[in-house]
Chain A
Amino acid sequence: MTGEQLFLQQLLNGLTIGAVYALIALGYTMVYGIIQLVNFAHGEIFMIGAYFGLSLFACFAAQAGAAISIGVLALGLIVAAAGSALLGFCIDRSAYRPLRKAPKLSALITAIGVSFVLQNTVMLIYGAQDRYVPSLAAAGSMDWMGVHWTAMQGLIFAVSLFLMIGLQWVVYRTPLGRSMRAVAQDPLAAQLMGISVDRVIAITFLIGSGLAGVGGVLFGVYYSTINFHDGYLTGLKAFTAAVLGGIGNIPGAMVGGLLLGLLEGLGAGYLSSQWKNVIAFGVLVLVLLIRPRGLLGERVGDRA
Chain B
Amino acid sequence: MLLSAEKIHACYGAVEVLKGISFDVSAGEIVALIGANGAGKSTTLMAVSGIVPVNSGKIKFNGEPIQALSTQKRVGLGITQVPEGRRIFPQLTVLENLEIGASLRTDKAEIARDMERAFSIFPVLKQRRGQLGGTLSGGEQQMLAVARGLMARPKLLLLDEPSLGLAPKAVAALFEVIREIPKNGIAVLLVEQNAYQALSIAHRAYVLETGTISLQGSSAELRQNPGVKKAYLGG
Contact = CB atoms under 8 A, between A and B. Distances in A.
**Chain B binds chain A:** yes
Interface stretch (A62-70, A182-190, A285-293): A182-190
A192 B100 contact: no
Given A178-B99, A188-B51, A188-B83, A194 B152 contact: yes
Nearest to B151: A193
B146 to A, nearest CB: 13
Question: In terms of DSSP, what is the predominant structure of the interface of chain A?
Answer: helix
Contacts of A194: 71-72, 75-76, 80, 103-104, 152
B166 interface: no
Contact of B72 (A175, A182, A191): A191
Interface in B75-116: 75-76, 80-81, 83, 87-92, 96, 99-101, 103-104
A185 B76 contact: no
A175 B104 CA distance: 11
A193 B91 contact: no
A192 B86 CA distance: 12
Contact of B89 (A175, A186, A191, A196): A186
A192 B91 contact: no
A87 to B, nearest CB: 27
Interface in A156-205: 175, 178-179, 181-182, 185-186, 188-196
A189 B100 CA distance: 10
**Chain B interface bracket (under 10, 10 to 19, 20 to 34, 35 or more):** 20 to 34
Contact of B75 (A179, A186, A192): A192
20 contacts: A175-B99, A175-B103, A178-B96, A181-B89, A181-B91, A181-B92, A182-B92, A185-B91, A189-B88, A189-B89, A192-B49, A192-B80, A192-B81, A192-B83, A193-B75, A193-B103, A194-B72, A194-B75, A195-B100, A195-B103
Given A178-B100, A194-B152, 19 more contacts: A178-B92, A178-B99, A181-B91, A181-B92, A182-B92, A185-B91, A188-B51, A188-B87, A189-B87, A191-B71, A192-B51, A192-B75, A192-B80, A192-B87, A193-B101, A194-B75, A195-B100, A302-B90, A304-B87
Interface of A: 175, 178-179, 181-182, 185-186, 188-196, 298, 302, 304
